[in-house]
Amino acid sequence: MADDKSKKTITAKDVASFLTDNPAEMSKLLATQPELLAACITAAGTSIGANDKIDDKVVNLIPALAAKARQDARKLSQTHQSLLHVAAENMLSWTRLHHATLGLLASTDLAGMCQVIATEFPVIFDLNQCQLISESEAAIPDALDLGLMVHPADQIDQATENRGLFLGLPNEAAQTMLIKPAQSLAIIRLPDRLPDPVSQCLLLLGGKTANSFHPDLGSDLLVLLAEMVGVTLAARLELQVNSR
């Protein structure tokens, strides 16, 4: 006589109970039958019928997971847009720096260099004004006639607050150095590794708004601009001396 157990019909509940009681078997099954996992996920997202009985202990996490996925997607999109904006700003900055370099290289003497800084730099960098300033103690011959602005070292130190790079609102000493009022300033000393009188000179950039230059602004491009101005100034001064 055949065993009655062999004729027993296995239900879905029997399978669920077996897998629940044997997690190792479930892991092995999912590892060897990946389509089963995909089917389970699909089934989990299927609407439950009105007459279907649901275990009170079962929590449907699909809506919460979907909402979190949408939120994460929005954050990724915002981050992507922010990165694109930063990349575009960096590209614009490097393009402006490239144009400024070409202007400096095109100048053939000190007067031409000062003219590029005073007239072309404000257009290139969208500035209120731009000046190449020399300490009066540097005693550059005919500095004012060539287009350099000349101020005492003490006044410059007060304007920059004794910093090699000043970014922010102009103080009283800085305001007296301006050609016209500026909402914010960047004052960068030319590299001190360059010989005098170049290391006694500064580049002043006047911003159109209070946010044009502020202490939290990145300074890499400004420092690089000052280095290019310093190297060009050294070359033009040498040419001026040799031509005499």
Q: Are 214 and 135 in contact (CB under 8 A)?
A: no
Distances (CA, A) of 9 to 12, 14, 20, 36, 241: 10, 9, 19, 22, 107
pLDDT score of 34: 65
pLDDT tens digit string along 66-77? 677 777 767 766
pLDDT for the residue 157: 94
In tens digits, the chain (244 residues) has pLDDT values of 455 555 678 887 888 788 788 878 877 776 777 676 666 666 655 555 555 555 555 556 666 666 777 777 677 667 666 665 555 666 778 888 889 999 999 998 999 999 999 999 999 999 999 999 999 888 788 888 889 999 999 999 999 999 999 999 999 999 999 999 999 999 999 998 888 899 999 999 999 999 999 888 888 889 999 999 999 999 988 887 777 6
pLDDT of residue 1: 47
Kindly write down the DSSP assignment for every residue of the chain, as one continuous string: ---GGGGPPPPHHHHHHHHHH-HHHHHHHHHH-HHHHHHHHHHHTSPPPTT----TT----HHHHHHHHHHHHHHHHHHHHHHHHHHHHHHHHHHHHHHHHHHHHH--SHHHHHHIIIIIHHHHHT-SEEEEEEEGGG--TTHHHHT-EEE-HHHHHHHHTT-SEEEES--HHHHTT-SS--SEEEEEEPPTTSPTTGGGEEEEEEESSTTSS-TTS--HHHHHHHHHHHHHHHHHHHHHHHT-
What's residue 62's pLDDT?
63
State residue 186's pLDDT score: 94
Sign of CA pseudo-dihedral 168, 150, 145, 195: negative
Name which of 133, 149, 146 is nearest 236 in CA terms.
Answer: 146
Predicted local confidence at residue 233, as pLDDT: 93
Tell me the β-bridge partners of 132: 203
Q: What is the pTM of this model?
A: 0.64
Q: What's the confidence (pLDDT) of residue 7?
A: 65
Of the candidates 233, 240, 241, the one whose C-alpha atom is nearest the C-alpha of residue 116 is 233
Domains of the chain and any CATH numbers:
92-242 (3.30.450.40)
Report pLDDT for 146: 87
